[in-house]
Amino acid sequence: MKLLSIFLFLTLFSFCFAHWETAIYSSDEWKYFVGISEPAANWKDVSFDDSIWETGIGGIGYGDEDDETIIEPTISLYLRKTFLISDLTKLQRALLHADYDDGFIAYLNGFEICRTDNLGEAGSFIPFDQVTSYDHEAQMYNGELPDCNSIYSSQMQSIFQDGDNVLAIQIHNVDISSSDLSSIFFLSFDVEDNYSFFGPVPEWFYTPFQFESSHLPIVIIDTFGQEIPDSSRITAFMGVIDNGEFNQITDPFNNYDGFVSIETRGSSSQSFPKKQYAFETQDENGENLNVPLMGLPSENDWILYAPYSDKSLIRNVLAYKLARESGRYASRHRFCELVLNGDYKGLYVLFEKIKRDDNRVDISEIGPEDISGDALTGGYIIKIDKLTGDNNDGWNSEPYFPDDFEIFYQYHYPRPDEIVQEQRDYIMNYFSEFETMMAAENYNDPETGYYDHIDFNSFIHFIIINELTNNVDSCRLSTFMYKDRDSIDGRLALGPVWDFNLGFGNADYLEGWETEGWEIEYNPHHKAFWMRRVWADSTFRESFNMQWNLLRETIFSDNDLNNIIDSLVAEIGDAQERNFSRWQILDEYVWPNPYIGGTYENEITYLKDWIQDRVDWMDTQTIIDSIPEYPMNLVINEFMASNQTTIADPEGEYDDWIEIYNTSNEPVDISGFYLTDDLSDLTCWQIPSEYPDSTTIEPHGFLLLWADRDCEDGILHLNFKLSADGEQIGLIAPNGFTIIDSLTFGEQSTDISFGRSNDGDSLWQFFETPTPGSSNNSDSYDDFTIDKKPFELYRNYPNPFQKTTTISFSVTQTSRFVTLEIYNIKGQKVKTLDILECSNRVTAASTQLMHSIDWNG
């Protein structure tokens, strides 16, 4: 039901106690008019003379065997019931309970308070002979409760009056041949204590949860009376209110206001009363519509996750955030509060659905025409998971070892109904060859083994997150993997990580509550056997241990983990109180809770304590002698993001380029290092290790790499291009974590490079005469005009970085004094840096220059 009153909620500031009384019962005498013609225009008003109307006991209707006054079949029925209010100031709010068949519009003193979706838009005139757009069955004769419609304090003075009042209702049928029509209505008031004006409430009486405002975005969904199914989707309306710090349910929709196709999702969570939903944003024609919901990157496929058994409300968000902070993509989030068909549903989390997209799983797009050559080799997303929903397909992989279970690989992208046979055959053969290699005795041979066939860092990150959480579903359910085109990066990558509501000690089976023991070693035959083989490889375990220790020194440190949890709890704020008022489960067992805290604060304490015990145990299992230091004598020295005529690559193409400079007196082989144009994806492209002659930079020498997204042209051709609109560049150590050098740059001009004023210098400038592969010289700068922002401070992102890091910024005005203030993740000021002699070394025409300082904490 669409309630007009849902758009009129305001925060209540009344502190007096109250109780409920009923002013109008269905069993009262009502005035009624069978809709054989249009009633008088003022039939809804108090002043209307209804003496010629019929009188009958409600409910009035036919066909359900609970009608007290039976009438002949009709399209419409009009009702009136007058009542007296002695002192309106003692009434705080009102409820209209309605049991009806098939639709109705209700008025109080001529003011429309609510109508069902099957009778047009609010405020529109509905003639006596109009049928409803769909049917609705009455509920009470089947032992269920009537619908509940709220009238809040802000409306009371404008709708009601001291003295005579009238409730007027028009009921409409779906068809004249319909077998029934029902009209059962009750009007009740929230009355200030020490006063009594009406009668007792019915035994079944209930009040809806009162939700009026939030600091989080508010999502309102209206399904037009339809149930949301768990397979085929339905079309619904969705509005999003996202004003920033304070949102009221009365505010206009300002983030989204349109249609969605929606279904329930999940497997075991389907049994919970708080449902999860998957939806697509769509235009008025039912076509997918990419939108940036709540500030997340634009797309059309989304998840509304409903934390229920996870009483901390943050387990999934925490796991995904840790994955992103450590350099891998995982779904971004926004906490929000949901109202579905007028019913407050509690705290929800908007997540990005796992999908091929430039802002999600960034692999090549593949279409039905891509059936040969390099185009056939990617990209693909495959998952190991339960079979839920309708659109499922894949293939079984027979066990390679005794006692192992079959692996069922499911197509995720392309979707089962879109992937063509050639692509099915290719990806099945790819996995078959991979499994054959992993089952071989020499699977970890340094020369011929699996090392060049998997994205090593993706496997390490995936296992780290699943082990940190002791995820009971790890490697057997909710396990995603992907493969890009061979020309870009044809290795098998694990991830993105997904579904941790049973992690962090929130499962009372499969030892999910334990803080000791490797999850990957528990019931190993239930998991993909090649995960067991990777874990058994000493080379992998050494790298795993190294990465874990690096993380524990930075973003997985005790303080940082607790700070992240605190920040997420602060982000939720008092929404958790409303959520647990709606779902009163804090002191109840919800499958599969091993711990029942009784309060939200206890749930967060349990989560923190469990994580502390878990990381302490993992520390004892991953001891290493030392963490290697990587050379910090490599810098990004110069680049060009729009090359049309400056310099051609060996194939004669004018590609974007990046120049790396070795500031040291020793040669440096940078094979195995990573380059990226996105500092949230630190392992975007790895410099090949097969040709050290091509990847070794001589002392004070240069290496030129072509950012052309065309790796087939050679080992120095990257799998990304640079954007002339501005983006990021990062040089990352072989561990996939440590940022050797990085920068965020603004808009660039064609055939003009941006580089350090002198090789390795901390000052940057534009060069009209670029110097790719040779020394920069500030004297080579010529005048030209570029429109830039007044200043920009570039975030030192992401963690972790080396103990000494470089902070970059740019200004447009000559200045001898600049102050930088450094804040931690909690918004606390850590350091104030005063920088002298910050004058630009460019002409006034160009106006902007990048600066950087070294900070050692």
pLDDT tens for residues 166-206?
Answer: 999 999 999 999 999 999 999 999 999 899 999 999 999 98
Percentage with pLDDT > 70 across the chain: 88
Residue among 355, 289, 303, 299 at smallest CA distance from 333: 303
- Say whether pLDDT at 808 is over 70: no
Other C-beta atoms lying within 10 Å of the C-beta of residue 652: 6
Please report the pLDDT score of residue 805 as a whole number: 55
Beta carbons of 765 and 842 less than 8 angstroms apart: yes
Q: Which of 712-716, 794-798, 811-815 has the highest mean pLDDT?
A: 712-716
- pLDDT tier for residue 783 given thresholds of 50, 70 and 90: very low
CA 383 – CA 360 distance, rounded (Å):
16
- Say whether pLDDT at 28 is over 80: yes
Beta carbons of 494 and 547 less than 8 angstroms apart: no
Range with the poorest average pLDDT among 324-328, 436-440, 550-554, 806-810:
806-810
Which is higher by pLDDT, 780 or 148? 148
Percentage with pLDDT > 90 across the chain: 68
- pLDDT tier for residue 389 given thresholds of 50, 70 and 90: low
- Say whether pLDDT at 460 is over 80: yes
- Three-state DSSP at 60 gives strand
Range with the poorest average pLDDT among 87-96, 658-667, 792-801:
792-801
Please report the pLDDT score of residue 809 as a whole number: 54
Which is higher by pLDDT, 250 or 737? 250
SS3 content of the chain, % helix, strand, coil (to 5): 20, 30, 50
- Say whether pLDDT at 761 is over 60: yes
Strands 333-340 and 218-222: parallel
- pLDDT tier for residue 799 given thresholds of 50, 70 and 90: very low
- Say whether pLDDT at 44 is over 90: yes
Residue among 144, 139, 145, 146 at smallest CA distance from 180: 139
Mean pLDDT, residues 852-856 = 57
- pLDDT tier for residue 17 given thresholds of 50, 70 and 90: low
- Say whether pLDDT at 6 is over 60: no
Mean pLDDT, residues 347-375 = 97
Mean pLDDT, residues 797-814 = 46
Mean pLDDT of the chain: 87
Domains of the chain: 4-192 (2.60.120.260), 634-855 (2.60.40.1260)
Q: How far is CA 471 from CA 72, 133, 534, 665, 734, in A?
A: 63, 48, 18, 48, 28
Which helix (H) or strand (E) segment is 345 a member of?
strand 343-352
pTM of the model: 0.68
- pLDDT tier for residue 843 given thresholds of 50, 70 and 90: very low
Q: What is the pLDDT of residues 282-318, one digit of tens each?
A: 999 999 999 999 999 999 999 999 999 999 999 999 9
Residues 6+ apart with CB under 8 A from 531: 463, 475, 520
- Say whether pLDDT at 816 is over 90: no
Q: What is the pLDDT of residues 530-581, one digit of tens each?
A: 999 999 999 999 999 988 998 998 889 999 999 999 999 999 999 999 999 9
User: Token match 């878990």: residue?
Assistant: 614
